[in-house]
Amino acid sequence: MKTYSDLAAFLHEFGVLSSIGSVLGWDEQVMLPPAGTEYRSEQAALLSRLMHERIVDPRTREMIEDVEAADLDEDQRVVVREVRRDFDRSVKMPTALVVELSKTTVLSQSAWVEARAAKDFKAFAPWLEKTMALKREQAACYGSESGDPYDALLDLFEPGETTESLRPVFASLTPQLVALLNKVKGSSRRAPTEVLHRHFPIEPQRHMTLSIAKAIGFDSNAGRLDVSVHPFCSGIAPGDTRITTRYSESDFTGALLGTLHETGHAMYEQGLPKSTWSGTALAEAASLGIHESQSRMWENQVGRGRSFWTHFWPAMCDAFGVSDIPLDQWLFAINAIEPSFIRT
């Protein structure tokens, strides 16, 4: 008979393997030379296969069943419940599909970076089509009670959520948001967005974005800030949470707001009890929605607010010589609403 301690040891080791995958993913987007992409895809695919084989092993099922029958406290029951969910879902996926998804993810990311730089969507389209086909296969393997394939994948990010329950939310928000946008578009007032597009040297941007991240709570002793094509946060392991941003000399707000967004993610990750509950669900985010609530709060509710900019405006003026810009103009500009295809 396996005990909870056996399961905890298994999950800790599995968490270490997962963290290795996170390091590979971070390195892929931050440090990897383009010529290393093909081999990186094989590394990622091999690791995914080994982890999948470990979780779907019949001995894992037996261990879960043994521990489910044991006398557990509330936290332990949560851990076991989530392991059971992961196992039941994983055994529905063929190993070959797991490997192909992992490899395609790496190769398509590299293709996207090249296509983005060349502004050539057609070059990326085949990779997008392949990825969508594989995700449809994954959804079909998982299945869902509703029969909606999207629900099968939605459950990975928002456990228990369904498209049926989300549709009324969007339906209630849509008319209000459309009315608000039309009101803004019809206004005779125009935000002075030109103040956002002066010359902002990169090095002062690097210094200021990191200092602001630390000022709002990012622990740089347990994390780092780097550059990538698309900003992201990776909660790799206890004491290791990494964020990225991107810089433009003609737009400091892109780097700053992107950093604030990822810092929100990072502070949530740094606040999780990863050392205490290593490898278990209690050391992971509750859901993507909770994660995004933190990042968007810091980016938008805080980072576009008067109090935030009143506090940091002297440093802005010292770093970039913008003291000739009235603070009210800057606030109006940074809160400008306009159509865009850019989702950051």
**What are the CA-CA distances from residue 262 to residues 243, 250, 259, 302 (Å)?**
6, 21, 5, 13
* Side-chain half-sphere CA neighbours of 249 within 13 A: 4
* Amino acid residing at 36: G
Give the Cβ contact number of residue 290 at 10 Å. Answer: 11
Catalytic residue list contains 164 = no
The encoded tokens of residue 122 equal: 């057609």
Give the Cα separation of 332 and 191 in Å (integer). 6
Of 60, 121, 122, 47, the closest CA to residue 90 belongs to 60
Question: Which residues on adjacent β-strands are paired with residue 244?
Answer: 226
Q: Give Dmax (Cα) for the chain.
A: 73
Q: Which one of 28, 262, 269, 299 is the catalytic residue?
A: 262
- Annotated catalytic sites, by residue? 262
